[in-house]
Copies of this chain bind each other. A is one copy, B any other.
Amino acid sequence: MDFAPIDRVYRDCVNENVPNVTVQRLPVYLSCLESLGTERERVSSEELATLAGVTPAKIRKDLSYLGTFGVRGVGYDIEHLRFQIRVVLGLEEEWPVVIVGVGNLGRALANYGGFQEHGFDVVGLFDADPAKVGTEYDGMLIRSLDELGPTIHESGATIGIITTPASAAQATAQALADAGIKSILNFAPVVIKPPGDVDIRRVDLSTELQVLSFYLHRRGVDVE
C-alpha cells in the first residue's frame, strides 16, 4: 500500500484555493526569502513586504491561502515558509524543460543558475539552423526540430521554452504542442496564439525597463 508523501498531501490540499494573483506573487516572496540567507530564523510580514514591494496586509493575506500565519511580534519561520512556497509551486519536484532557439538568449537560459535551483532541468536544446544541429553547447547536443517528439517523449518534458526570433515563434509553439508539450514560456518579442489547450506565458524582457522609465520620469530625470 502506498501513501502519498506529506508534502504532496499538503500541496493538493491548498493548490485549488490559491487565487491567480497570489500565485504570481509567490515566486517573488520566495526570491525575497532566499535573499535572507540561511542564518536568520524569522522574518516579519513588514520586512518581507518591504523586500517584495507590497503591503504587509497583502503578505499576510497571500500566505493565509497556504495555511500559514505569522506569530505577532515573532513573524514567520523563514525555512518553513520557503519550503511551503516551494511545495505549493511544485518546485520540490523536477521539471524537465526543452529550449528551442539556441541563440544568445537560449544559451543564457541553458545554464541559468535560477532554473536548476528551482527544479527546472534543461533536457534538450533545439535549433532550426542546420549549422548548429549536431554541435554541442555546454555539453549538450543541439538537435533538429524533427527530434522534438522523441526527445519530449523520452525525457518526459512538460515545459517548452521559446527563444527563437519573433518570426519563428508561432510555428515553434505549434511544433511543441504537436510534440506533446502542455506549457510554453515564450521569450520571443511577439505574442503567440496558444495552439490548442497549451498554456503560454510570455516574458517580455523590456517590461521592467518600461516600469523604470516611468519612475525616472516621475523623479524628473530627463535625458534631453
Chain A residues packing against B (C-beta within 8 Å): 11, 15-16, 18, 20, 23-24, 26-28, 30-32, 34-35, 51, 53, 88-91, 93-97, 103-105, 107-109, 112-115, 117-120, 156, 158-159, 166, 182-183, 185, 189-191, 199, 201-219, 221-224
Q: Which residue of B lies closest to A113 (CB)?
A: B189
CB distance from A38 to the nearest CB of B (A): 14
A211 with B93: CB separation less than 8 A: no
Known contacts A89-B214, A93-B223; 10 further A-B pairs (Cβ under 8 A)? A28-B204, A95-B223, A104-B105, A109-B205, A112-B205, A113-B166, A114-B204, A120-B213, A199-B216, A201-B211
Enumerate chain B residues within 8 angstroms of A209, measured Cβ to Cβ: 95, 97, 115, 118, 120, 159, 185
CB distance from A136 to the nearest CB of B (A): 15
Closest A-B pairs by Cβ, 5 of them: A35-B191, A104-B108, A105-B108, A114-B189, A27-B210
A189 with B112: CB separation less than 8 A: yes
Interface core residue of A30, A35, A190, A208 (most chain B CB under 10 Å): A208
